[in-house]
Structure 1
Amino acid sequence: MGLKVPAEEMTAFLDEVFPQVVGMFGIDHLDEDGLVMRLHASEQHLRPGGTVSGPAMFSLADVAAYVATMAHVGKEALAVTTNCSIDFMRKPVAGEDVLAHAKVLKLGRVLSVVDVLMFSEGSPDPVARATLTYSIPPKRDG
């Protein structure tokens, strides 16, 4: 499973197809074994008590799974999430970015299954785990 889209090209693609998340996420590492994506946690991502909210972590997991899938299949803007299961295990450390470690578990013609472990930056214990399935649109001829 080689990469079809390197990190720099994937960042530009995300900026183009998802302008609403420009600056929210960053790709720290991307290779055929996996992806490390960062949520630049800011005030808008916090819930009462100063911790990163569940919806912000869901967004991180979803975008990380999308990027991990697209890196292997090529730029398919219309790929969509068909399933997500997320377990929140502990509160992220207040004031720290959240890192998502994503790995494609299965890549087929029409579905991709991705596992995502999320950590507070600098902490060895995961704060959440998600498994996502993406539907990959059929290739068009021409």
Structure 2
Amino acid sequence: MSGPDAAEIRRILHAGVPLAEAWGVEVLEAAEGRALLRLPPSPVLLRPGGTVSGPAMMGLADMAVWCALLSLTGGRDESLTANLAINFLRRPGAAALLAEARVLRRGRLPFAEAWLRAEDAAEPCAHVTTTWAAVTRPPR
């Protein structure tokens, strides 16, 4: 059985996180616990100095990890971010950003990482590690 394709994961992302649609986030790839997302350039996401803001970078990384989780769960995942740590490595500028996420551990406390880079750069601008809490529904 194959999981949802990138277009279906994009639909789930935009429905579950309306901010993703507002920002125009694209899901370029999502399969086997990995995801590649693109955040198009936008003046509303810049901070003084003309570079993408930290909150926008953190949001993109969080969305990328959720898409990677969705690729493992048939598109049904209600996990919540429990912790997200980001290391800003260099200024990305005002270009589009790419976020590549991969799930490193599954289970009740999934753990993942994401690397962010400006679309026109080879070197990463940020590294993210994150732990999620799997949500289980109480019995009825």
| Alignment TM-score, normalising by the size of structure 2 | 0.88
Provide structure 2 residue ranges, at least 5 long, that are not aligned to the other structure. none
1:136 to 125, 134, 137: 134
Q: Check the 8 A contact 2:115/2:127 in 1, yes or no.
A: yes
Counterpart in 2 of 1:15? 14
Comparing 110-119 and 65-74, the one that deviates more: 65-74
Match of 1:118 in 2: 116
> What SS class does the counterpart of residue 13 from structure 2 fall into?
helix
How many residue pairs match? The answer is 138
Report 1:1-142 matches (<5 A): 4-24=3-23, 25-32=25-32, 34-73=34-73, 74-76=75-77, 78-94=78-94, 96-108=95-107, 110-138=108-136
- Please state how far the C-alpha of 1:140 moved relative to its aligned partner: 6.8
Task: Output the aligned Cα RMSD.
Answer: 2.0
The percentage of counterpart residues that share the same residue type is 33
Q: CA deviation at 1:41?
A: 2.3
Q: Secondary structure at the match of 2:47?
A: coil
Contact 1:5 1:72 in 2 (8 A): no
